[in-house]
Amino acid sequence: MRTVELLLDGAADLAVLRAWRHLAEAGMPSQEAHAHPTNRPHLTLAAVGALPDTARDGVAEALAALPLELCLDGLLRFTGRTHVLAWAVRPDPELLRLHGAVWRALAASPEAGGTNPLHAPGRWIPHVTLGRSRRPAWGRPDAELLPAGLRGPVRGRLIGARSYDSATRTTEVLAP
């Protein structure tokens, strides 16, 4: 699997790292515990089987829209085989245009091996993951899950993009 992920500016990145630390210090599952060198705050736009050259031009063209404004606002909880606590990303029109353009570039390339439908326009829920667990783990009120000073909207910018390759567990810079 390959992803297309947007990267946060320094201030937003630091805010997410503070939230990871806060959860870890409270004894809750946190991305801080994921020690792989590729682990960093990001916003996933799409996941595909491969990132072929046939899709790269369209993806690169879409990513030329960077940098974009970012607003982290509110917490989300996803359930299923894995439970996820995430910081919601407000989907402004520019982000939705970028997401749609990346999705179309990947979907138009049969060599990509298919797109993950959870990232499809209209279905995609933009977020930055704070923690993952095999069991429900964040039963506290939202106000207790973020550190003081980060409980309201956090603004920043989306400044770059990368692709994560799950087979090699490596990343590749896509933009700037």
Write down how long the chain is. Answer: 176
Query: Which residues, listed in sequence order, are joined to residue 76 by a DSSP beta bridge?
Result: 86
User: According to the model, what pLDDT value does residue 45 have?
Assistant: 96
Among 10-14, 106-110, 145-149, the minimum mean pLDDT is found in 106-110
User: According to the model, what pLDDT value does residue 164 have?
Assistant: 94
**121-141: pLDDT as tens digits:** 999 999 999 999 999 888 899
The model's confidence at residue 111, banded by pLDDT at 50, 70 and 90, is: confident
Cβ neighbors of 91 (< 8 A, separation 6 or more) are 99, 126
Higher pLDDT, 148 or 111: 148
User: According to the model, what pLDDT value does residue 37 have?
Assistant: 85
The conformation of residue 120, written as its DSSP 8-state character, comes to S
**DSSP labels, 48-78:** ES---HHHHHHHHHHHTT-SEEEEEEEEEEE
**23-51: pLDDT as tens digits:** 999 999 999 998 888 899 999 999 999 89
User: According to the model, what pLDDT value does residue 115 have?
Assistant: 73
Q: Which two tokens stand for residue 147?
A: 């550190």
- Domains in the chain, CATH or no CATH each: 2-175 (3.90.1140.10)
93 phi and psi angles, rounded to 5 deg? -55, -35
Does pLDDT of 110 surpass 80? no
**45-102: pLDDT as tens digits:** 999 998 988 899 999 999 999 999 999 999 999 998 999 999 999 999 999 999 999 9
